[in-house]
Amino acid sequence: MGRPKKLHRKEHYYREAKRRGYRARSAFKLMQIAKTHHLLRGVSTVVELCSSPGGWTQVIRQLSNTARIIAVDLAPMEPLEGVIFIQGDITDPDTVEKIVAAAGSRVDLVLSDCSPKVTGYWEVDVARQLALAETTIEIGHRLLGRNGKVLAKVFQGPGFQEFLRTARGRFHTVRLLKPDASRRTSAEVYLLGIGPVP
């Protein structure tokens, strides 16, 4: 009897990440989104929230060797060439001020693959994840230029529709994306917001 498809898919991306030297299998999610939705087109400055261990950061650098990258996480992250790393809590105003200072001006893209520490209680985990996604939207709205983009991981669960309505009020265009590297049975989707509403 074969292994379940979702386990096989997870192992496939895990093995591929190891083979290609990516720090996390989630690198393939960003790679697929970036390719399909031209995420890095016209992007010169990127702020990546919850960046550790750096799998997404590696993909950004690989796809754009000229982009200025500011990575932020509460946990330490092994250095990557040409990446500015800020260690801090993204919900802390002091950390946000450090991001603003490092950026120096408007940025083109804010990314977030943030996940809370899982408690095992679905409603609690969803609420914590949505809070991180809301923080991402707030930071993105503050930092982004007129045509800037924000990409944030979101769990579909209690409070998701309210979050979506808020996001649609903050950006001219909002799309929900599900890359192939995400498990089809997972509640995880990615919200892409384009063009902050003044």
Positions annotated as catalytic residues are 153
11, 137, 166, 174 from 191: Cα distances, Å = 25, 10, 12, 7
Find the angle CA(47)-CA(13)-CA(148) to the nearest 5 degrees: 20
53, 121, 140, 144 from 49: Cα distances, Å = 11, 24, 10, 14
CA 180 – CA 28 distance, rounded (Å): 9
Nearest-CA neighbor of 133 among 71, 191, 51? 191
